[in-house]
Each structure stands twice: as structure tokens, then as C-alpha cells.
Amino acid sequence: MAAKETADFGYRRVSAHAHTRLVHDVFARVAGRYDLMNDLMSGGIHRLWKAQLIDRLAPRPGQLLLDVAGGTGDIARRFVARTSDARAIVCDINARMVEAGRARGLDQGDSGALRWLCGNAEALPIASASVDAYTIAFGLRNVTRIPDALAEARRVLKPGGRFLCLEFSNVDQPLLKRAYDLYSFAVLPRLGAIVARDRDAYQYLAESIRRFPDRPRLAALMRQAGFEQIAVRALSGGIAAIHSGWRL
């Protein structure tokens, strides 16, 4: 009998089915305060990282972006605001995150350039070779099967399309790493307990970052998925990184 498929949920090893459910539950619980927590836990630096992601993407008029694990639409809004006639599909597996994003859009007066979709990064409800660019920000480490998500990213991109992943990464400088670990495990869960009323969700966040592939390993997974001209840029001493590649 084949071995049961498993995946890391933070520092726990769980079945693949349980992993998908557990991650879904985490984001369903924090959806209402997701944006506020992003600002608080990063000191607003996540906005600078996202701006750099869009700079590297360099949107062109008329392009269609698929933003996967798009949460409340931060990346998609930046994309459509950068150039004329751009459109974006925000896709997230969690219906509560999609609902929170739509509600935020009503408050901010979103144009018709954004479309919202509930879907799994590992089996996207998107036609093959149909989008000009694919982004995923702070979402890839939460999927159950990263190789499957990368294969799907390449499938939906048009030839000449661009893939960009913004994700937490590995801090290399020892002093910064010690400070970052202290913040991650001593401060972040307490902040989550106070603001989001969910300590466990932000304990999972800290653990999931440590289980995520390092920069060379993620680049290798992208190559295996068929991406070419792969480039990696570390941000803020390696706290985060942007991986980019092309479907050629």
C-alpha cells in the first residue's frame, strides 16, 4: 500500500488533506484583521516589498495579471493602478479572504479592472496560456504541494509570461537572524493574540517560514517546473525575497 502523503504544517507533519484544511482554517480566522496584522507585524515594510515586486514586474498596458493567494487584493490593486487598461484576477482558496477583499474594494472604490475568484493554487480554474503575468505574495509557503502550484503557474501563463513570487526567506547575517528569530517566536504570536485574537495562527506563520525552501531550493523547484531565466533578489537582509522566472 502506498505511503500516505504528508506535508509540513508549521513544525507538525500532517496528512496532505489535513494540511489544506488547517491552512484554510488559519486564514478564515484572521481574514477580518489580515491587513492590519500585516502592517503591524512588518512595521509597514511589506508595502515596500510589494512595491518592489510591481517594479520588477513592470506592468504594460492591456496586460492581465493572475494574483494567486491574492488575499485582499494588495498586489492586484497596485498592478492595475500602474498602467492603463490593465486587468487582474485575484484568486484565493479561502472564501472569507475573497469576501474581505471585495468588501475592502467597495470601500476604496475599486474599478471593474479587478475580478475575484475562489480557487486552489494547485488546480487553478483558469485556462491554459491565458494570463500575461502571475504573482503570488506570501502564499506559496501555505500550499500543500509547491511543485504542483509552480506547474499550474506555468500552465496558465502565455508564452513570454512572467512569474513572480514574493515570500519570506532565510536571514543569513547571524545578528539579524537572532533578532528576527526572537521577534518571530516571542513577539509575533503575542501580537496575533492581542490584535487578531489568534495566537496559534501567528505561531504557525513563524514556523511555516522556517519550513519553506531556501532561495536556492525554490529556484531549483522553479526550474523543475519549466521556468527559465530565473532570478532571485533578497530583501531586507533576507527576511523576504522575490523570485522571478519566465515561461518561454
pLDDT at 3: 62
For residue 174, tell me if it sits in a domain.
Answer: yes
For residue 161, tell me if it sits in a domain.
Answer: yes
Residue 75 belongs to what domain range?
A: 6-247
- Confidence at 31, pLDDT banded by 50, 70, 90: confident
Answer yes or no: is pLDDT of 234 > 50. Answer: yes
Answer yes or no: is pLDDT of 2 > 60. Answer: no
For residue 1, tell me if it sits in a domain.
Answer: no
Structural domains in the chain (count)? 1
For residue 217, tell me if it sits in a domain.
Answer: yes
**Which residues are registered as beta bridge partners of 161?**
247
Q: Which three cell numbers stand for residue 76?
A: 492586484
Answer yes or no: is pLDDT of 230 > 50. Answer: yes
Q: Which amino acid, 10? A: G
Answer yes or no: is pLDDT of 241 > 50. Answer: yes
For residue 39, tell me if it sits in a domain.
Answer: yes
Percent of the chain with pLDDT over 90: 79
pLDDT at 196: 86
Answer yes or no: is pLDDT of 1 > 60. Answer: no
For residue 115, tell me if it sits in a domain.
Answer: yes
Rounded distance between C-alpha atoms, residue 32 and residue 60, angstroms:
32
Q: What mean pLDDT is predicted for residues 144-161?
A: 98
For residue 202, tell me if it sits in a domain.
Answer: yes
For residue 229, tell me if it sits in a domain.
Answer: yes
- Confidence at 109, pLDDT banded by 50, 70, 90: low
pLDDT digits (tens, 9 = 90+) for 35-75: 888 888 888 899 999 999 999 999 999 999 999 999 889 99
CATH at residue 142: 3.40.50.150
pLDDT digits (tens, 9 = 90+) for 155-182: 999 999 999 999 999 998 999 999 999 9
Sheet holding 240-247, edge to edge: 114-118, 87-92, 64-68, 131-137, 157-168, 240-247, 228-235
Rounded distance between C-alpha atoms, residue 44 and residue 156, angstroms:
32
